[in-house]
Structure 1
Amino acid sequence: MKPRGWKRIMTDDNKRNIDTGLPPFVIPDCLGVNIHFIGREQKQVDQIARAGFRFTRMDFFWHNIEKTRGEYDFQAYDELVETLASRDVRTIFILDYNNKFYDNGVSPYTDEGRFAFAAFAKAAAAHFRGKGVLWEIWNEPNLTQFWHPAANVEDYVKLAKVVYPALKEGDPDCTVLAPALSGWDYDFLESAF
């Protein structure tokens, strides 16, 4: 059996390379990395691009963008998308979490909450139209940690059914990902479809 690994092993000081005789390691264009920063974080973005990643995935917090009911501030995310795009890295934004203005600050479970979240999603898709952003509807809705007060497939599906057309109304050409589950939760997935 032939060992697998990196073609070169970089030492801590990055001055010496050890040739392993293995073919070069290439990160496929479809792989990415999850991040937790916004704005122009040049150093981190440079590291992501140099590593060969072509996608980043990060939370697009509803409560940080709609701080006043019906008004959306995308400025910090604009800077991030621009900085990533300048390095040929695309963005997957996770439309997620709660907003104190709707449904008592828990995950959307009423028509008012769902339609408010859909309006937020539509505004975001329209704002980033043509910039290669992909949209994920919620992060791991099968976990109570992320869907409050408790994971609920029925409420998630109701949300997805109003958010998807809203995203397409904002940007007919956008790519929508859903559901992004934690682990292999076949029961949740089967119930969703």
Structure 2
Amino acid sequence: MELDLATALADGRTEYDKMVAGDWYRYRFGPELAELTTSTQRTCRRITALYDEDRDAAEALFRELLGSVGEGADFRPPFYLDYGHRLHVGERTFINADFLTLGGGEIRIGADVLIGPSVRLYTPTHVLDPELRPQGWERVSSITIEDGVWLGGSVVVCPGVTIGARSVVGAGSVVTKDVPPDVIVAGNPARVVRPLQPEV
């Protein structure tokens, strides 16, 4: 959906409300957005600092920060989030170091997911018009990673993508469109390499 500038400027909602609705908003103009991201990023740094000296306290802060965290979910710092409450992590999921989520789109990660180091989940899309882009217009789209998925190191997942259950995304891949369940994908852009076959 293209930006209708007149309609967007006349919209009286806060930038946060427009963001969570998936509408165009200006991420540089909402003081509530700056406050949320600053607070979230401060908490991420606090968790990293605490992790070695008091792992229980670090894990408690992690659970407080996120929208929801399933039993047995585990992580390795450092990690970087813009809006912790927009991230949901399922049971027994493991998030390796240098994990980043960008933007305010909702991200739902299922159970038993393996997330390799330096994975990036991007939810925002900026306006394409080069004159409007510097004004900070963007919209967010949710990302869903279903149960049992494995994301290799340095994978990038783009806005609006769903990765189907049990699928594997090869290291360094850029996922620009939905991935069906039970396949291996790799490349930039990621493409299906083959069906996932049980190891015997």
TM over 0.5: no
State the TM bucket, normalised to the shorter chain.
under 0.3
TM-score w.r.t. length of structure 1: 0.24
TM-score (norm 2): 0.24
Higher helix share: 1
Structure number with the bigger relative contact order (C-alpha 8 A, sep ≥ 6) is 1
Structure exhibiting the larger radius of gyration computed from Cα positions: 1
